[in-house]
Amino acid sequence: MAQDVCPARSEPSLSFLQGLILGQLSVVLLIAAFIKFFIFGEAPSAEETASIRATERRSRTLAHKKSLLSLRSAATQRQGSQPPALPALNKKKSSILRSNPPTLTISSILDKTYYKVDSHQPESLDWFNVLIAQTIAQFRSDAQHDDAILTSLSKALNGNSRPDFVDEIRVSELSLGEDFPIFSNCRIIPVDEDGLQFGAGKAFDPKLATREGARLQARMDVDLSDMITLAVETKLLLNFPKRLSAVLPVALAVSVVRFSGTLSISFNPSNPSENTPTKMTFTFLDDYRLDFSIRSLLGSRSRLQDVPKIAQFVESRLHRWFDERCVEPRFQEIELPSMWPRKKNTRGGDEIIANIEQSINKAHGGDIAKEARQAVETEADGLRYRRRPVADDTYSVSGSMPGSLPGIDMPT
């Protein structure tokens, strides 16, 4: 009989109400932890962040150089195992043109320009700073004259890449700064076809610079302390479960306060056989320093101002954008136009007068400059015709009596 009795079921230790309360508390704790560590969490100091980024860039550059050297050694071994190439056919040269001089190597260029790589003192580039400052000042003046730069920024920010949950982006503040970059400590360094310095830390050996692709590279220090600001306003849209379920206003202002680094510039000569023009390449070394000042504002009523994590995220994205475009081993390449003097590029002379006349006509809405020129020419012709010779300075009127006033007929 005792075996037929069903055992009593064990009741759950927590009721439904207790489980609901526990679940709500866990959600609240997760939200509180998110607010504390993400929104109000302190970002690392600027010095610590800059040191970490510099270490990462340096390790990336060293890894790139190591891979280049390994590929170079493998290519050298492969070329050594291949049979020698057949000699190229000699083309018949013109008897009119003089024989070309020997190709100038890096060593001969340095000798003819009296530049000693190991002992030459770095240059200050004061003249270059003046020209760059004048160019930037003109650019800032043109930007204030019309809204071209504001229109371009608005089109770029509201292009096809803008996601659907972001409303139209409006530029609320734009400042191009007041100071100018200072270039200094310029030096010339021979590099190979991959941009690696010949015998880094050792005396320059001219024999190493004779292989194909070697070129001269100018390296200069750049320092800029300014306040270049771009501020935008937009709204984050929540389109679930229905369109515009929630709207979060967002304001963000990014300012570049300082930039310092090393700029490398080199020229790649043209190749007539491959029809490639002369190109200028520039890049920044991995030892640069770029500091931002980022301000943020979230919400319309209960606003969150200057959230550290947002500033850290935006700054990391800007550094990544800069590293992927013009920090070694990546570089920018610009094609240079032909430097031969041409008639279509000639300016000055009568064109200056014509431009002045055109600007005057455009400003006053009439052909005032042409009328002024015709008036001056008419006045000059009148003076030329009214001028008399010295012998005809005595006034005489036909039919006038002696002693009469000149130019008045006396009655007979």
Report the distance separating Cα 276 and Cα 231, nearest Å.
42
Burial class (CB in 10 A: 0-12, 13-18, 19+), 123: middle
* Mean local confidence (pLDDT), 230-241: 88
Pick from 24-33, 63-72, 79-88, 245-254: least confident? 79-88
Mean of pLDDT over the chain: 78
What pLDDT is attached to residue 159? 86
* 296 three-state secondary structure: strand
Q: How confident is the model at residue 406 (pLDDT cuts 50, 70, 90)?
A: very low
Summarised one tens digit per residue, pLDDT across range 344-361 is: 777 766 666 777 767 776
- Coil, strand or helix at 99: coil
Residue 250 structure tokens: 């967002």
- Report the share of the chain in percent with pLDDT over 70: 70
Question: Which pLDDT tens digit goes with each residue over 145-197?
Answer: 777 888 889 998 998 888 888 999 999 999 999 999 999 999 998 888 777 77
Q: Please, which residues have CB within 8 angstroms of residue 134's CB and are 6 or more apart in sequence? A: none
Give the C-alpha distances (Å, rounded to integers) separating 218 from 205, 271, 353: 18, 22, 41
CA dist., res. 283 & res. 333, Å (int): 9
pLDDT of residue 215 exceeding 90, the answer is no
DSSP code string of 187-247: EEEEE-TTSPBTTTTS---GGGGGSTT-EEEEEEEEEEEEEEEEEEEEEEEE-SSSTTSEE
Q: What is the pLDDT of residues 279-289, one digit of tens each?
A: 999 999 998 99
Task: Indicate if the pLDDT at residue 223 is higher than 70.
Answer: yes
255: pLDDT confidence band, cut at 50, 70 and 90?
very high
Model confidence pTM above 0.75: no
What local confidence, expressed as pLDDT, does residue 404 receive? 44
Question: Which range among 20-29, 37-46, 107-116, 392-401 shows the weakest confidence by mean pLDDT?
Answer: 392-401
Least confident of 104-113, 136-145, 191-200: 191-200
Integer angstrom CA distances of residue 205 from 28, 201, 210: 70, 12, 10
What is the largest distance, in Å, between two alpha-carbon atoms of the chain? Answer: 178
Highest mean pLDDT, choosing among 8-12, 57-61, 77-81, 230-234: 230-234
Give the pLDDT mean for 239-247.
80
Band of the pLDDT at 403, cuts 50, 70, 90? Answer: very low
Query: Which tokens sit at 361?
Result: 């006509």
Q: Considering only residues 409 and 253, tell me which one the structure prediction assigns the higher pLDDT.
A: 253
**Confidence at 316, pLDDT banded by 50, 70, 90:** very high
Kindly state the average pLDDT of the residues 66-82: 71
More confident position, 396 or 112: 112
